[in-house]
C-alpha cells in the first residue's frame, strides 16, 4: 500500500525565515511525486511534479527536491502570502491501471509578518 507522511504537521515562521517541509513516501514504483498548495476553503493547487531522484524544480521562493525515499519543499525568505497547507502526493506505476494520487495529510505553514 502506498504511503505518504509529511512533517511537520504545522510550522510557524517569521517572514524571511527560510525552512524546509518533508515528505517521506513508500510506493511500489514511483511514476511521479506532486506538490500542491491548499488555501482555506479552496481546492489544492498544483505546484510541481518530480519524476526521478535528483530532480529539482523551482518556482519563486519554492524549490522542490526528490530522493528515492523523500522529497523536500524548501521555502526561501517566505512572505505572509506563502501561508497555506502544502500537500505532497505520489502516483504509483501500474497499480492495476490506477492513476489516482495518494496524498499526505499536509503541512500547515504560517508566515508571520
> Given the rule CB under 8 A, which residues bind other proteins?
31-32, 34, 36, 41-46, 49, 87, 89, 96-106
Nearer to other proteins, 96 or 113 (CB): 96
Do residues 52 and 39 touch, judged by C-beta distance below 8 A? no
* Number of neighbouring beta carbons within 10 Å of residue 84: 20
Which grid coordinates are listed for 95? 497499480
User: Cβ of residue 89: shortest distance to other proteins, in angstroms?
Assistant: 8
Rounded CA-CA distance 28/12 in Å is: 34
Nearer to other proteins, 66 or 89 (CB): 89
Nearer to other proteins, 59 or 79 (CB): 59
Do residues 25 and 71 touch, judged by C-beta distance below 8 A? yes
Rounded CA-CA distance 5/24 in Å is: 5
User: Cβ of residue 3: shortest distance to other proteins, in angstroms?
Assistant: 12
User: Cβ of residue 10: shortest distance to other proteins, in angstroms?
Assistant: 12
Amino acid at each position: 500500500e502506498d504511503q505518504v507522511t509529511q512533517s511537520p504537521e504545522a510550522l510557524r515562521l517569521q517572514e524571511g525565515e527560510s525552512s524546509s517541509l518533508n515528505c517521506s513516501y513508500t510506493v511500489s514504483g514511483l511514476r511521479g511525486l506532486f506538490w500542491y498548495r491548499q488555501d482555506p476553503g479552496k481546492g489544492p493547487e498544483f505546484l510541481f511534479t518530480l519524476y526521478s531522484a535528483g530532480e529539482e524544480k523551482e518556482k519563486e521562493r519554492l524549490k522542490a527536491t526528490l530522493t528515492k525515499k523523500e522529497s523536500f519543499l524548501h521555502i526561501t525568505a517566505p512572505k505572509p502570502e506563502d501561508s497555506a497547507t502544502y500537500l505532497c502526493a505520489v502516483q504509483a506505476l501500474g497499480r492495476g491501471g490506477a492513476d489516482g494520487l495518494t496524498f499526505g495529510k499536509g503541512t500547515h505553514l504560517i508566515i508571520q509578518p
